[in-house]
Amino acid sequence: MRKRARPPLVMIHGAFCGPWAFDRFRKPFEGKGYAVHAPTLRFHDCGQAPPRALGKTSLLDYADDLEKLIAGLGETPILVGHSLGGLLAQMLAARGKARACVLLAPSAPWGVLPSTMFEIASAQALLMTGDYWNAPIAPNYAIAAAHALDRLEPAERHAVYARFVPESGLATFEVMQWALDLRRAAHVRARDVACAMLCLVGSDDKINPPSTVSRIAARYQGRALFEQVEGHSHWLIGEKGCETLAARAIAWLDSILVAEGARAGESG
């Protein structure tokens, strides 16, 4: 396949992060000729002192910003989303803005029940902090180190965490307490997602565990392929072996694009 035949690819980072989170993961895609776009979610470029408006920024705001970026690409892109970014990719796919999706430890859309006590306890603990949905949420090293960056060596773990930034309280509420969200911001109507999806999740991921991600894939009734990756945790985009995961995603995308080309040839 010639490089110029590849569609643009948009990588959507997760909560508390920025496009830098894909520094390692994007290189194999670029090596295969993909033009990779890695936008910054709204207010995630403001360092440790973001405006209070971040706290009331919705998932819908993030998705609208990304839709505008996609409109400027001139071609429907492939979406690669990690964690919260994986949920945003699903939302955009339901709007018809994705040619295919690679979901990496994706957060679940509205209506997908948690499958572990860790998920339930995490949501309850957050709710006990008060009206957190009205303000930015600062990153927490203890939580990140134990549950997101736990497969990194200590020095790398500290270096990655040093780049974390505050996250929207409202967007977090829309994901973690979706049953209380009257707007149903995280809702994705599965039948509106026409593109193929690859769902990759680490076997040791507690934040978005395999048992929950498998439920996400099942919503799309055969359009989503679920794969559990042994030995990986939530930061699978930067853990040792992430290049192998990228290669797996590229191979899957190649099969999707070849199939599309074959169908186009038959119809022509």
Q: What is the helix (H) or strand (E) element at residue 11, kind and residue range?
A: strand 9-12
Q: Residue range 215-219: average pLDDT?
A: 98
Q: Which residue has the tokens 């797996």?
A: 248
H/E segment holding residue 251:
helix 242-267
Q: Which of 252, 263, 198 is nearest to 32 (CA)?
A: 252
Interhelix angle 84-94/169-176, rounded to 10 degrees, is 80
Q: pLDDT tens, 33-72?
A: 999 999 999 999 998 999 999 999 999 999 999 999 999 9
The Cα diameter of the chain in Å comes to: 59
pTM of the model: 0.96
Determine the length of the chain.
Answer: 268
Helices (H), 116-241: 117-127, 141-147, 154-161, 169-176, 210-219
Q: Cα–Cα distance between 121 and 163 in angstroms, integer?
A: 27
Q: What percent of the chain has pLDDT over 90?
A: 93
Q: Is a pLDDT exceeding 90 seen at residue 5?
A: no
| pLDDT reported for residue 263 | 74
CA distance 184 to 111: 9
Residue 262 — pLDDT band, cuts 50, 70, 90?
confident
pLDDT at 15 over 60: yes
Scanning the structure block, which residue is given the tokens 């505008």?
68
Asked if residue 264 has pLDDT above 80, the reply is no
The residues spanned by each domain of the chain are 3-267
Distance of alpha carbon 116 from alpha carbon 209, whole angstroms:
8
Which CATH fold would you assign to the domain 3-267?
Rossmann fold (3.40.50)
Ordered DSSP codes for 60-106? HHHHHHHHHHHHTTSSPPEEEEETHHHHHHHHHHHTT--SEEEEESP
Mean pLDDT for all residues in the chain: 95
